[in-house]
Amino acid sequence: MTNNPLSNPSFSKLFAAQIIALVGTGLSTVALSLLAYDMAGGRAGTVLGIALAFKMVAYVFFAPIIGGIVHRISRKVFLISMDVLRAIIVLLMPFVSEIWHIYVLIFLLNLFSAGFKPVFQAVIPDILNNDEQYGKALAYSRVAYDLENILSPTLAGIGLLFFTYSGLFVFNSLAFVISALIIIITLLPKPKPVERSGNFVDEITYGVISYFKTPRLRSLLVLYIGIAVGSSMVIVNTVIYVKDYLMLPDTTLALFFACSGLGSMLMAFTYPVIAKKFDDKTVIQIGILTLAISLFLMSYEPTFSSALINWFLIGAGLSLSQIPAGKIVNMSANPNDRTAYFSAQFSLSHLCWLIGYLAAGQLVYIFGFSYTAVFFACIVSICLIYSVLFWPNEEEENILTHTHTNLTHQHTHKHDDHHQHQHTGSLDDNNHSHEHNHDKITHKHPFHIDIHHQNWPSN
């Protein structure tokens, strides 16, 4: 069996859908900037900042809700619906007449994206059971995001030679429709039945609570604080550095972003080789260390050529620290609960970015570029130290010895290692629900926080 994930027909189709949707989204990013400028003039930056805040609010608050309830419907139908709804929202953009219309549409667009993205991410490990294939798939996904940053502005510039920015919104809408059509013809594996107990609130908070109970995920989230402040420094303040510190023209801004994207893409392409020599925790920590060093160097306000190298290193560090995250989340989740875990990761990581964006903009404005860079470098370093101290050393298989106390509860289940009881009728081999008892037992197996494992073993 080849280890190239693109040899899997289902993944290759989903990957194509992802690239098309991302490039289309990049076109809308350019169009939105021009729309904001048309409507607000010199206040365009403020409008975009508020729109970005609405985007993050949608991501942070609605991803866990969707992750908690999406198991009730078909994943394929859900993904297609999200693409269609996003296509409709984007198509409405050229018709806005008030600034608040932009805020509403951006919020709705990213509300549906908050539903689509984590569910999409959770489907991939169901398709690719081979760990090496899945690692390469995550690297390819990183390349897809970098293509959005590099290819979309180029295509937008070419498109604007022939039509107005409204046409970019139309092309983005078409991209979402094409993505939906590809998903329609893609064979998705049937999801495993989700075991849940409790009320609606328990369901929507399940992923976040389970996430915080998992030591390696707590460490991963702390590292995402470092990732977020480093990324925010680049996204928010590169324009300030280029224009106010280097006194260079607008075209140089694209060069800085291209260097950062190039560093990210290079690490994405080399990750499969790196992953054979280092475990994922080490790879992430190497990326965070690279990010901390780059931010310290950034505080010296380097000259043009040195700054380009620095931005390249920042891109490399951001890529290395983020690519393995999907594997860490996947190994931490019971396969039945992947969507809830990925939704929690999506929500919590974007909360870090929300804080990072606000801090990056305000601190540079108040204290200056150099102070903010060294302060962020210290934050990233503290995050790295935390992960070294508190990310437990563990085997890849995650096999832990633990003890279950006597428990009686009810949920949908089948007869497996945790359910060895008898009853009459045809229920023995099918998923079914009834009150049942678990005797006290000590055993070991790949451990995840789930309905039968509410707390992490202390030893």
| Distances from the Cα of 281 to the Cα of 50, 134, 270, 321, 330, angstroms | 35, 16, 16, 9, 14
pLDDT band at 307 (very low <50, low <70, confident <90, very high): very high
Write the DSSP string, 14-46: HHHHHHHHHHHHHHHHHHHHHHHHHHHGGGHHH
Residue 298 has pLDDT above 70, yes or no: yes
Let me know whether 176 and 230 are in one domain: no
H or E segment and range at residue 169: helix 166-184
pLDDT above 90 (res 383): yes
Residue 83 domain-assigned?
yes
Are 315 and 228 in a shared domain?
yes
In a domain, 112, yes or no: yes
> Would residue 298 count as lying in a domain?
yes
pLDDT at 429: 54
Q: Are residues 137 and 77 in the same domain?
A: yes
pLDDT at 359 (0 to 100):
85
DSSP letter at 402 equals E
Please answer whether residues 134 and 125 qualify as being in contact, where contact means their C-beta atoms are separated by less than 8 angstroms.
Answer: yes
Mean pLDDT across 109-117: 84
Q: Are residues 224 and 153 in the same domain?
A: no
| Residue 178 main-chain phi, psi, to 5 deg | -60, -40
Is 180 part of any domain? yes
Q: Which residue has the higher pLDDT, 45 or 364?
A: 364
CB 16 within 8 A of CB 182: yes
- Per-residue model confidence as pLDDT tens digits over 199-250: 556 666 777 888 888 888 999 999 999 999 998 888 778 877 887 888 887 6
pLDDT at 339: 75
Count structural domains, the chain. Answer: 2
DSSP annotation of 93 reads G
User: Could you tell me if 269 and 349 lie in one domain?
Assistant: yes
Is residue 233 located within the same domain as residue 372?
A: yes
Structural domain containing residue 388:
205-393+450-459
Cα 439 to Cα 364: distance, rounded to the nearest angstrom: 59
Do residues 174 and 298 both lie within one domain? no
Cα distance between residue 419 and residue 225, in whole Å:
40
Are β-strands 399-404 and 407-413 bridged in parallel, bridged antiparallel, or unpaired? unpaired
Strand partners, 262: none
With a cut of 70, say whether residue 414 has pLDDT above it.
no
> What band does 61 get if pLDDT is binned at 50, 70 and 90?
confident
Cβ atoms of 24 and 148 closer than 8 Å: no
Distance (Å, whole) CA 283 – CA 72? 36
Residue 325's contacts (CB-CB under 8 Å, 6 or more residues apart) are 220, 224, 284, 345, 349
Q: How would residue 371 be classed by pLDDT, with cut points 50, 70 and 90?
A: very high
> Residues 229, 153: one domain?
no
Residue 285 is predicted with a pLDDT of: 96
- 224 shares its domain with 99: no
d(CA 67, CA 204): 7
Using CA atoms, how far apart are residues 238 and 114, in angstroms rounded to an integer? 27
Treating both helix axes as pointing N-terminal to C-terminal, what angle do 215-240 and 338-367 enclose, rounded to 10 degrees? 40
**pLDDT tier at 427 (50, 70, 90 boundaries)?**
low
Torsion angle in degrees (nearest 10) through CA of 249, 231, 66, 343: 150
Q: Is 200 within the bounds of a domain?
A: no
13 domain residue, yes or no: yes
On whether both 142 and 218 belong to a single domain, the answer is: no
Nearest to 207 by CA among 334, 313, 326, 88: 334
Three-point CA angle 288, 294, 298, nearest 5°: 145
Structural domain contains residue 385: yes
- Last residue within a domain, chosen from 161, 189, 217: 189
Is pLDDT above 70 for 197? Answer: no
pLDDT score of 348 more than 80: yes
Domain final residue pick, 189, 214, 240: 189
pLDDT of residue 4: 81
Q: Rounded to 10 degrees, what is the CA torsion of 330, 334, 336, 338?
A: -30
Distance of CA 441 to the CA centre of its chain: 37
The model's pLDDT over 71-82, given as tens digits with 9 standing for 90+, comes to 667 788 889 999
Q: Which among 145, 162, 189 is the end of a domain?
A: 189
CATH number of the domain bearing residue 73: 1.20.1250.20
How far apart are the C-alpha atoms of 53 and 61, rounded to whole Å?
A: 12
Rounded to an integer, the average pLDDT of 421-439 is 57
**Is the domain of 43 the same as that of 135?**
yes
User: 333: Cβ–Cβ under 8 A, 6 or more apart, which residues?
Assistant: 210, 340, 341, 342, 448
339 vs 293, residue with greater confidence: 293
- Look at residue 445 in the predicted model and tell me its pLDDT: 54
Q: Which residue has the tokens 């499969």?
A: 272
55 contacts 110 by C-beta, under 8 angstroms: yes
Query: Same structural domain for residues 239 and 367?
Result: yes
Specify the residue for token string 């428990």.
407
Q: In this model, does residue 308 exceed pLDDT 80? A: yes
pLDDT bucket at 363, cuts 50 / 70 / 90: confident
Contacts with 402 (C-beta within 8 Å, 6 or more apart), sequence order: 442, 443, 444, 447, 453, 457
Residue 454 pLDDT > 60, yes or no?
no
Q: How is residue 456 written in tokens? A: 């992490």
Residue 415, domain member (yes or no): no
pLDDT bucket at 287, cuts 50 / 70 / 90: very high
The per-residue pLDDT for 221 is 95
> Helix, strand, or coil here: 448?
coil
Of residues 319, 341, 317, the one with CA closest to residue 329: 341
* Paired tokens of 172: 């983005």
Instruction: Return d(Cα 412, Cα 167) in angstroms, integer.
Output: 49
Q: Does residue 285 or residue 131 have the better pLDDT?
A: 285
